[in-house]
Structure 1
Amino acid sequence: MARRANGEGSIFRRKDGTWSAELSYRDDYGSLKRRTVYGKTQAEVRTKLRDARERAESGAPVKDASMTVAAWLDEWITKSLAASDRKQATKDLYATIARTHLAPTVGTIPLGRLRPSDVEALIVTKRDAGLAPSTIRTIYTVLRAALGIASRDGLIRSNPAATVKRPGVERKDAPHLTAEQAQALLDAIRGDRLDALFRVMLATGLRRGEALALHWSDVDLDAGLLRVRWTLSRTSRGLRLDEPKTDKSRRTVPLPRSAIAALAAHRTRQAEERRATADAYEDHGLVFTTEIGTPLEPRNVLRRFELLARRAGLSGVHLHTLRHSAASFLLAAGTHTKVVQEHLGHSSYAITADIYSHVGPAQQREAADRLDEALRW
């Protein structure tokens, strides 16, 4: 080093004309460490030195990690994500998102050099690729979660995704069946082995996983009630029973008479299947099962429903449409939104009101018509 700048103490000018500075500090374990910064000008090095000193004093890493984002994502998946209390299905989804959408795009960038503008560019790229807004939001959520752990572990000073606005998802009216379409569907599923499952879902608004995890011990046909206590999903570790995600999802749902009759007939048929398969039958206490008592595969149930919906002449109808239809019918019948929220297990009143705001105008029209009938003009 040629000479030290006047008054700078630890800033030096090198023989090649560039500048450098060295900072001594102690890490979290009390060990003495040194950090050297370089720059073309004295002012540049001074700024870098001040930044390093502030980071050391605040407990942040003096130097960001040099590993790539892709390398960090792999570590995050196998350690932090695996250790989290998220459901296995969510862990699988996040790992897939990281490997499919993040590693091929921002994966080559060094972890410490990822900037908010890189995150914004990622969002633009995914929009240009035609991905659904909900998928883009999930991609952002996964990246932010992974970078949050990197910041927590001291690999980066701050989370660059935290300063980027979360991608929005345009609210759309929940697709639902009209009364005529619902009747056509009921006619199409009549006699099918999964008839009772689809009727109960339409009558109660249960989610697929909730219906497939339903146990006979949670059904009281005499009282006309069922309790939602479990959810079934396909994960990387096989079919898995988990508790519902929120307290609101754990609920008691009233059964209309048609659903009670469907469940009673289903229980009789299930008993006949048990007798017919004898020792091959596995009794897990589930309401809806295969012919030998094992849990139904969620994807097979979805495929069967979509086939029956096409037979009914319905297009664009999915299994979740039954849930939306149940809510729409309840609201159109004058049921208060708060009651529908509890019926569906939504975590808040606002969610129910937002998703089913399209039912409001129909109710207003009906109220106006009733007023017109009640008064003699």
Structure 2
Amino acid sequence: MTTPRETPASRRVRANGDGTVYQRKDGRWEAAGYVLAPGNTRKRIRVYGATRKDALAKLTEKIATSNRGLPVPSAQGSVAAYLTYWLENVALHHLRETTHTRYTACVDRYLVPGLGKKKLAKLSAEDVRTWLNQLRTACQCCARGIDTGRDRSRCCAVGQCCRKLLSPLTLTYIHSVLKSALEHAVREEEIPRNVARNVRTGTPRPRCFEPLTADEARQFLTAARGHRLHALFELALHTGLRKGELLGLRWEDLGLDAGTAAIRRTLQRTSAGGLTTLPTKTRASERRIALPARCVQSLKLHHEQQQRECKAAGTAWQDSGHVFTTAQGGSIDPTNLTRTFTTLLRKAGLRRIRFHDLRHSTATLLLEQGVELVVIKELLGHAHIGVTATVYAHVRLRLQRDAIDTLSTALGSPETTETARSDGDESPPCPALVR
């Protein structure tokens, strides 16, 4: 009686739908199988590995993804097709809704019109560099057809280009979106390398901001006194909380007896859900901060005022649980808060600034008072201290100059030092230094 021969490992029969695995002449292992492709079709893909186990694991992962209903893009397809796949199946599940909306607008406005027709597998660094240079020099009224859509043309259609160019920050952002999309294509082994990383756009200058001085801050708080949201503006100037973090605060997050606040969430308006409470911007943004005594007192008075508003509203009261609400208890729209802030600036006779500049004002004033940079980093919720140091470099430079001048006075001649003394017995106070 004869026994059947054992099937070699390279020719082992697999179940229907599991694909094929075999060894090539060059020694590598190749696995092939059918997966779901864009357009609700199926295609045969091939993956490679140094061993049979590696090739089989890659194929199994592709098939498992296909069985979940996620189409596998093809490198033979266009850049536009891959970007659509990436936005709908990858970025949608890993980004905030507001960030996904900005990514989608960036893809529709700039990436697809400029690179969409090129093959993903044939996209080169030269293509990306040429496209970025065109964006850098092209008037957006002409490129996006803005002027032709106006009721009265005033740019390209009348032969007088306004030269509305993209800012370096916008160019860097567009480039970063492309890098993120291609990086995922590399992880899925659709392309061998991320060609967008080989193109440098330069480091744009940080956006200029004009924080309030100490006198202007006191002037603003005086104008806000008596307003129903006075506690919000006082808290913003003393702690540097972001607008969304202020509006997302709940009474359960506050420990008024201990003088602390837990920052756990942020309030934002999204296109799908309206006013929505979301997690903080980053993991470092989720923090516990100390509250100054005057803020604790203002919050207690604000709580009493909110209870009076609740009684006055009766059944119309919307119990959102937030610290800062409308007169009916609902969540405050961030845009409405900005309008209120602008009105108070006008009332105080101050220049117009952004609400976010209150956060910059807090950090600047703390630095000028000699507070350690690491303390400011923890208060603001920055992920790295380098972010804090970079944003407020101009403040540190001014303080360094004061420190150098003080040292220069101390190292001067005795006659110069005696002349600089205010009363001949005590030296002038040394300004606060930032370490």
TM-score (norm. length: structure 2)? 0.68
- For residues 371 and 208 of structure 2, the distance between their equivalents in structure 1, rounded to whole angstroms, comes to 19
Q: Cα gap change, 1:57/1:216 in structure 2, threshold over 3 Å: closer, same or farther?
A: closer
Query: Shift of the alpha carbon at 1:29?
Result: 2.3
Q: What secondary structure sits across from 1:161 in the alignment?
A: helix
Equivalences for 1:1-377 in 2 at 5 Å?
A: 28-29=31-32, 65-84=75-94, 86-128=95-137, 129=139, 130-165=165-200, 167-171=202-206, 174-238=209-273, 239-364=275-400, 374-375=426-427
Answer with 246-255 or 346-355: which moved more: 246-255
Q: CA deviation digits over 1:219-267, x for unaligned, max 9?
A: 1222222111111222232222222233321222222233223212211
Query: Shift of the alpha carbon at 1:172?
Result: 5.2
The answer to whether the 8 Å contact 2:30/2:49 transfers is no
- For residues 212 and 133 of structure 1, the distance between their equivalents in structure 2, rounded to whole angstroms, comes to 31
What amino acid sits opposite 2:322 in the alignment?
L
- For residues 263 and 122 of structure 2, the distance between their equivalents in structure 1, rounded to whole angstroms, comes to 47
Q: Cα gap change, 1:261/1:132 in structure 2, threshold over 3 Å: closer, same or farther?
A: farther
User: 2:63 aligns to what?
Assistant: none
Answer with 330-339 or 280-289: which moved more: 280-289
- For residues 206 and 101 of structure 1, the distance between their equivalents in structure 2, rounded to whole angstroms, comes to 33
Q: Cα gap change, 1:137/1:268 in structure 2, threshold over 3 Å: closer, same or farther?
A: same
Aligned residue pairs total: 329
- For residues 387 and 289 of structure 2, the distance between their equivalents in structure 1, rounded to whole angstroms, comes to 19
The answer to whether the 8 Å contact 1:140/1:167 transfers is no
Q: CA deviation digits over 1:198-224, x for unaligned, max 9?
A: 221111100111111111111122222
Q: CA deviation digits over 1:146-201, x for unaligned, max 9?
A: 12223333433332212223542223564311122223322333333332212211
The answer to whether the 8 Å contact 1:64/1:156 transfers is no
The answer to whether the 8 Å contact 2:29/2:49 transfers is no
- For residues 289 and 27 of structure 1, the distance between their equivalents in structure 2, rounded to whole angstroms, comes to 61
- For residues 364 and 151 of structure 1, the distance between their equivalents in structure 2, rounded to whole angstroms, comes to 46
Q: What secondary structure sits across from 2:262 in the alignment?
A: strand
Q: What secondary structure sits across from 1:290 in the alignment?
A: coil
Query: Shift of the alpha carbon at 1:316?
Result: 4.4
- For residues 283 and 74 of structure 2, the distance between their equivalents in structure 1, rounded to whole angstroms, comes to 40
Larger RCO, structures 1/2 (Cα 8 Å, 6+ apart): 1
Q: Cα gap change, 1:260/1:132 in structure 2, threshold over 3 Å: closer, same or farther?
A: farther
The answer to whether the 8 Å contact 2:83/2:107 transfers is yes
Query: Shift of the alpha carbon at 1:326?
Result: 0.5
The answer to whether the 8 Å contact 1:174/1:355 transfers is no
Q: Cα gap change, 1:156/1:186 in structure 2, threshold over 3 Å: closer, same or farther?
A: same
What amino acid sits opposite 2:88 in the alignment?
T
The answer to whether the 8 Å contact 2:31/2:48 transfers is no
The answer to whether the 8 Å contact 1:64/1:157 transfers is no
Q: Cα gap change, 1:122/1:244 in structure 2, threshold over 3 Å: closer, same or farther?
A: same
What amino acid sits opposite 1:249 in the alignment?
S
- What CA RMSD, in Å, does the superposition of the two structures yield over aligned residues? 3.1
Query: Shift of the alpha carbon at 1:56?
Result: 6.6
Q: What secondary structure sits across from 1:162 in the alignment?
A: helix
Q: Cα gap change, 1:233/1:257 in structure 2, threshold over 3 Å: closer, same or farther?
A: same
- For residues 283 and 359 of structure 1, the distance between their equivalents in structure 2, rounded to whole angstroms, comes to 43
Answer with 350-359 or 186-195: which moved more: 186-195
Q: What secondary structure sits across from 2:217 in the alignment?
A: helix
- For residues 104 and 358 of structure 2, the distance between their equivalents in structure 1, rounded to whole angstroms, comes to 30
Q: Cα gap change, 1:224/1:162 in structure 2, threshold over 3 Å: closer, same or farther?
A: same
Gaps of at least 5 residues in structure 1 are 1-22, 32-54
Q: Cα gap change, 1:99/1:307 in structure 2, threshold over 3 Å: closer, same or farther?
A: farther
What amino acid sits opposite 1:89 in the alignment?
T
- For residues 30 and 240 of structure 2, the distance between their equivalents in structure 1, rounded to whole angstroms, comes to 56
- For residues 211 and 357 of structure 1, the distance between their equivalents in structure 2, rounded to whole angstroms, comes to 26
Q: Cα gap change, 1:302/1:123 in structure 2, threshold over 3 Å: closer, same or farther?
A: farther
Answer with 327-336 or 98-107: which moved more: 98-107
What amino acid sits opposite 1:79 in the alignment?
N
- For residues 107 and 56 of structure 1, the distance between their equivalents in structure 2, rounded to whole angstroms, comes to 28
Gaps of at least 5 residues in structure 2 are 1-24, 35-46, 59-72, 140-164, 411-419, 429-435
Q: What secondary structure sits across from 2:328 in the alignment?
A: coil
Q: Cα gap change, 1:293/1:347 in structure 2, threshold over 3 Å: closer, same or farther?
A: same
Q: Cα gap change, 1:126/1:261 in structure 2, threshold over 3 Å: closer, same or farther?
A: farther
